[in-house]
Structure 1
Amino acid sequence: MGVTNVEKKPKVAVVMGSDSDFSVLQNCIKVLKQFDVEVSAIVCSAHRTPDKAAEFAKGAEENGFDVIIAGAGKAAHLPGVLAAFTPLPVIGVPIKSSTMDGLDSLLSIVQMPSGIPVATVAIDGAENAALLAVQILSTAYKDLRDKMKEYKKQLEKKVEEKNKALQEKIKEL
Structure 2
Amino acid sequence: MSAKVGIIMGSKSDLNVMQDSADICKEFGVEFEMTVVSAHRTPERMFTYAQDAAEKGLKVIIAGAGGAAHLPGMVASITTLPVIGVPVKSSNSIDGWDSILSILQMPNGIPVATVALNAAKNAGLLAVQILATADENLAQKMQAYKDDLKKKVEESVAEMEKKS
TM tier, shorter chain? over 0.9
Mean CA deviation greater in 12-21 or 96-105: 96-105
Instruction: Choose from 112, 126, 129 the match for 1:132.
Output: 126
- Measure how far apart 1:141 and its partner are: 1.3
> How many residues are treated as equivalent by the alignment?
163
Gaps of 5+ in 2: none
Q: What is the SS of the residue equivalent to 1:146? A: helix
| 1:15-44 deviation line (CA, Å, top 9, x unaligned) | 010101000011110011111100100001
**1:45 pairs with 2:38:** yes
Give percent identity, aligned residues only.
56
| 1:38-80 deviation line (CA, Å, top 9, x unaligned) | 0100001000000100000000000010000000000000000
Mean CA deviation greater in 133-142 or 48-57: 133-142
Q: For residue 82 of structure 1, what is the aligned residue in structure 2?
A: 75
Distance 2:6 2:47 in 1: 14
Q: For residue 32 of structure 1, what is the aligned residue in structure 2?
A: 25
Query: Cα RMSD (Å) of the superposition?
Result: 1.2
Q: For residue 117 of structure 1, what is the aligned residue in structure 2?
A: 111
Task: Give the structure with higher Rg (CA).
Answer: 1
- Measure how far apart 1:97 and its partner are: 2.8
Q: Does the 8 A contact of 2:3 with 2:33 survive in 1?
A: no
TM-score (norm 2): 0.96
Gaps of 5+ in 1: 1-7
